Amino acid sequence: MKTDFLRELSGQSPIIAFMNNYGLIFDVDGVIADTEAVNAAASIQVFAEFFGIEGVKRADFAAGLGRGAEAYVKAAAKIHGLEMTDQQVAQATAARQEIFLKMLRNNPLPPFDGVMELIEAAMASEDFHLAIATSGTREKSQAVLESAGIPYKQMVYISGSEVTHKKPHPELFLKAVVQLGLQAQKCLVIEDAPNGVEAARAARCKCVAVTNSAAAHELAQADLVVDSLVEINLETIRELLR
């Protein structure tokens, strides 16, 4: 049960309930930078080269958005009638990451509009603490953060390499909350995928969803849906968390 897991994880570290402090937790893919186009391109190449499947489209990966590389690859495999063994999944995800990193080296990704402004404002504010929480591997997500110029070394940083359960399970965000030393109700997650919104809600965090990867109606469970992070500021976030 998720409730039992939440109780167990919360007991791993004392939570310091700062009365007037807030946590701001960023997903990476589709929130920090437009990685979804690169994720899809790398995955499409894997399907063509490893399995001889042509005609795979970005939309074929939609069911796996935000759930980690394995779920991402399996989503398209299901649509194209490919039953993958565990070994094939492992090979495909490894190849996908290698191709992704090569693409990123050749064409660095800038951050989405509003991302750096929000991060810099939060870092300059005494009442905000920041975290990165992503289902991507440490190597892959770190490459994205460095490409976009995100000061992640000054933030709590949880990747898919450090968790057992992927979104929509709340483990990723619960770990971030614990390391921030705040109550979940004082933390806001910025997401771009329905699975991420569900995970944030399960962790008892507030959530702002940005329509970089999914349509607004697919993100309707978030507390606020925006088309760009330029539409919000720290006061918007404070109001949601009060």
Cα–Cα–Cα angle for 141, 143, 147, rounded to 5 degrees: 120
**Which DSSP category does 57 fall into?**
-
Interior CA angle at 114 toward 212 and 236, to 5°? 95
pLDDT at 67: 84
Tokens at 27, concatenated: 């997903």
Q: Calculate the average pLDDT of the chain.
A: 92
pTM of the model as a whole: 0.84
3 state DSSP class of 60: helix
Q: Percent of the chain at pLDDT above 70? A: 92
Contact 98, 215 (CB under 8 A): no
| Residue 69 confidence class, pLDDT cut points 50, 70, 90 | confident
Tokens describing residue 29:
């893919």
Of the candidates 173, 182, 177, 180, the one whose C-alpha atom is nearest the C-alpha of residue 155 is: 180
> Using one digit for the tens of pLDDT, what is the confidence trace for 165-213?
989 999 999 999 999 999 999 999 999 999 999 999 999 999 999 999 9
Give the start-to-end residue ranges of the domains of the chain.
Answer: 2-34+109-241, 35-106
Output the CA–CA distances (angstroms, integers) from residue 225 to 36, 78, 189, 194, 216, in the order listed: 19, 29, 12, 11, 7
Q: What is the pLDDT of residues 75-109, one digit of tens each?
A: 999 999 999 999 999 999 999 999 999 999 999 99
Architecture label for domain 35-106: Orthogonal Bundle (1.10)
Domain 2-34+109-241 is in which class?
Answer: alpha beta
